[in-house]
Amino acid sequence: MKTNQPPRPLSIMIVDDTPDNLKLLEEMLRGRGYFVRAFPRGRLALAAAANEPPDLIMLDINMPEMTGYETCERLKTDPRLSSIPVIFISALNETLDKVKAFQCGGVDYVTKPFQLEEVQARVTTHLRLRQLQVELEMHNAHLEETVRLRTRELADAKGRLAILDKAKSDFLTLISHELRTPLNGLFGLTDLVFMGCETNPEISEFKAPFEESKLRLLTILDDAMLLCQIEVEGTRFAPRPVSLPPVLEAATAKAGEFAGSRKVSLEIAPDCVGVVSGHDGLLTKALQSLLETAVKFSKSGGTVRMFANPTPTGVGLAIEATGRVIPLQALPRFFDVLAIGESITPGGDLGLGPPVADRILSLFGGSVTVANREPAGIRFQIELKRPGLQEAMEP
């Protein structure tokens, strides 16, 4: 059974070759509740301190065999004893004596004859400081141990995440490859069937839906692989200066076929564009995905418009579509991977286009947000960063 033990009394060691001084200080300090040990020689005190370190030492300066200065210097060379506070006691009152006492490691100095109130005040002060020092050392040791354990936990977690990321990347790569192989065979056979049945209207009418589904399936595979590469190997896509006009032109051309199939026009008016930070292929992919998403929110015969304007840090692009809005419950998770599984447009679900665009832009310090607008429609606001000095200097 555990019992509450009373706290150990603070220990004080007195070293003085004058018996009267030893007796006076010993009685006074014991009367205050301290555990006191008295020694007439420095050598004896050192041996006792090494065996059982005290909380404070009161040390006379003028002693035979070994002076108080020498005793203090010996104490300070022992790592276990060096932090014990030493108060010098002496009849000497010269400034040089006091300076030497502090130089060899003393924390305070009292002169004979003793003023008991003064001695008590100095002892109390330095014992309290010693206690605070010990508590601080224990706290620091605890913090260091906590930091060490936390660092090890984080290192272990990082290692596990690296393994999981690699496993995810390898898995997606394998799935992509293994799916493409049979799909290519399936698509090839289906194309042959359509070619052989060109004169059969009942079969030919299924070709357009088949081509759309084929394109969608291949796009999902490509987007999933790209998302995985960005999240696992993002550092491989080092940003570089990219001229924005060719990127806009390429993105518009790639999104144009999809827009045409929905009878939606693309109108690009990049009034002020220039050089931004990124990767031309990835930025093209991001803008294409956002343009195609905007097409899905447009009605047949509508127009998706893109505007550009300079910002303090780069270029801002706005993509606007008129026709339909995003349900309010879907707005906060619009760019989350697979967060919107249901169809929120007549043209079907959004796939991975929005999260792909968001990850690409974030990779290069940019961003994209979406909002509903009036008349009914949506607006993407895109921010692209201008190249940093180091990027601009790289070939």
Question: What's the pLDDT score for residue 32?
Answer: 87
Cα separation, 298 vs 375, in Å, equals 12
- Residue range 285-319, pLDDT digits in tens: 999 999 999 999 998 899 999 998 888 889 999 99
Cα separation, 24 vs 281, in Å, equals 90
Question: What's the pLDDT score for residue 342?
Answer: 57
> Is 70 exceeded by the pLDDT of residue 275?
yes
Question: At 115, phi and psi to the nearest 5?
Answer: -100, 110
More confident residue, 345 or 238: 238
Cβ contacts of residue 212 below 8 Å, gap of 6+?
A: 261
Cα separation, 320 vs 266, in Å, equals 10
Least confident of 32-41, 96-105, 341-350: 341-350
State CA 344 to chain mean position distance: 35
- The answer to whether the beta carbons of residues 194 and 204 sit under 8 Å apart is yes
Average pLDDT of the chain, as a whole number: 84
Question: What's the pLDDT score for residue 389?
Answer: 54
The three-class DSSP label of residue 87 is: strand
Structure-token pair, residue 370 = 């979406």
Question: At 107, phi and psi to the nearest 5?
Answer: -105, -15
Q: Highest mean pLDDT range out of 127-141, 196-210, 336-350?
A: 127-141
pLDDT band at 110 (very low <50, low <70, confident <90, very high): confident
SS3 of 346-369: the string is CCCCCCCHHHHHHHHHHHCCCEEE
Rounded average pLDDT over 233-253: 86
CATH code linked to domain 239-393: 3.30.565.10
Cα separation, 158 vs 169, in Å, equals 16
Report domain 148-236's class. mainly alpha
Rounded average pLDDT over 166-195: 71
Closest CA to 335 of 363, 368, 306, 365: 368
In the chain, residues under CATH classification 1.10.287 are 148-236
Rounded average pLDDT over 345-372: 85
- The answer to whether the beta carbons of residues 240 and 387 sit under 8 Å apart is yes
Is pTM beyond 0.85 here? no
- The answer to whether the beta carbons of residues 293 and 253 sit under 8 Å apart is no
Structure-token pair, residue 327 = 């349900």
Tell me how far CA of residue 127 lies from CA of 28, 54, 58, 300, in angstroms. Answer: 16, 11, 12, 86
In the chain, residues under CATH classification 3.30.565.10 are 239-393
Question: What's the pLDDT score for residue 393?
Answer: 47
pLDDT band at 362 (very low <50, low <70, confident <90, very high): very high
pLDDT band at 1 (very low <50, low <70, confident <90, very high): very low
Residue with tokens 């192989």: 181
Question: What's the pLDDT score for residue 76?
Answer: 92
- Host H or E run for residue 308: strand 303-311
More confident residue, 284 or 7: 284
The three-class DSSP label of residue 60 is: strand
The three-class DSSP label of residue 49 is: helix
Rounded average pLDDT over 132-138: 87
Size of the chain in residues: 395
Rounded average pLDDT over 187-212: 76
State CA 373 to chain mean position distance: 36
> Is 90 exceeded by the pLDDT of residue 223?
no
The three-class DSSP label of residue 242 is: strand
Structure-token pair, residue 362 = 């974030």
Least confident of 77-81, 109-113, 242-246, 369-373: 109-113
Q: Which CATH number fits domain 11-114: 3.40.50.720, 3.90.380.10, 3.40.50.2300, 3.30.365.10?
A: 3.40.50.2300
Question: What's the pLDDT score for residue 285?
Answer: 92
Question: What's the pLDDT score for residue 156?
Answer: 85
Structure-token pair, residue 211 = 């081509």
> Is 60 exceeded by the pLDDT of residue 341?
no
